[in-house]
Structure 1
């Protein structure tokens, strides 16, 4: 079963189950700031026997490129429990994520930390080739470590973006992209 739900509609036990899933998937390398980034938007969950085994969240952010501010659905914490991988669950979740982004936002974006070559691209995501940066409280700061790892999902509102132009994200604690 796949379920799409707002963060504020999840019970404490559901939030606990999601965080436990993410800790298992990220080998306990999932900081408090990472958890904060997951909340405040929508979650797409794949369940097996009532337990979440695959997850992604879409949170609102603002990205800037080509003189435009784009309302962006930013994908966080895409993960599938190791015992449930290679069964299409992540792909099923991503299909729902894409539908949500295309319905609610001008652009989808994420920082690809997976080592699954082409996974997002098979679902319509494209590599952003331009230089990246973040608008910090003290000014714009380059994020060259993210260059080539940022992927976008265009919508009709963003179909003509120049994927080689510089792109800037809004500030947040922890990983900015």
Structure 2
């Protein structure tokens, strides 16, 4: 039996976190640049959508709060992290189920959502209405706003059902360790 639940990081036990880390390590084993502690930590501090099949964790996604700068305004946004489905459970609609719940959390709690899409995940997000952010991407550092590498352009997606966001604008995220997007 497949069961989908949503829980806050604060409600995950040490065993839950260990099981989550094992799933993410396995799913992202071939991820460009690897998957490490920093990548795992990016998905903590918010809401997790967990999919268990027969008591085994087979799917996950998280929404964390981040600060972006857009048009000179600071905006709190819901940022989707660590979306993963075990290889043995793909093509069964679990990724869509996880994203559906994450989108509900994003829209109810933040109004709009963002994520950085891998080439593998991009088609799922496009089908679900996540638009490509076409404007330049930057990061706010202690030295000021710095342009992120141009190869990251086109990798960020936004979910705004009313299409109120101008995806051609400059988008600036706050600095964090590891991948800023």
Task: Verify same fold: TM over 0.5.
Answer: yes
Q: Does 1:171 align with 2:175?
A: yes
Q: Does 1:72 align with 2:77?
A: yes
- What aligned pairs does 1:2-17 form with structure 2 within 5 A after superposition? 2-17=4-19
2:131 match:
126
Deviation at 1:117, TM superposition (A): 4.7
- What aligned pairs does 1:1-177 form with structure 2 within 5 A after superposition? 1-27=3-29, 29-143=34-148, 144-154=150-160, 159-177=163-181
CA contact (8 A) 1:64 1:70 kept: yes
Question: Secondary structure in 1 aligned to 2:91?
Answer: coil
Deviation at 1:115, TM superposition (A): 1.7
* Structure 2: 5+ residue stretches without partners: none
Q: TM-score, normalised by structure 2?
A: 0.92
Question: Secondary structure in 2 aligned to 1:120?
Answer: helix
CA contact (8 A) 2:68 2:173 kept: yes
Cα RMSD of the aligned pairs, angstroms, is 1.3
Residues 54-73 of structure 1, C-alpha deviations (whole Å, 9 max, x = no match): 10010100111122222111
The whole-number CA distance in structure 2 between the counterparts of 1:57 and 1:136 is 25
CA contact (8 A) 2:51 2:59 kept: yes
Q: TM-score, normalised by structure 1?
A: 0.94
Deviation at 1:116, TM superposition (A): 4.2
CA contact (8 A) 1:70 1:107 kept: no
**Which deviates further from its counterpart, 13-22 or 29-38?**
29-38
The whole-number CA distance in structure 1 between the counterparts of 2:72 and 2:47 is 28
Residues 9-30 of structure 1, C-alpha deviations (whole Å, 9 max, x = no match): 0011011000000000011721
Runs of 4+ with deviation above 4 angstroms: none
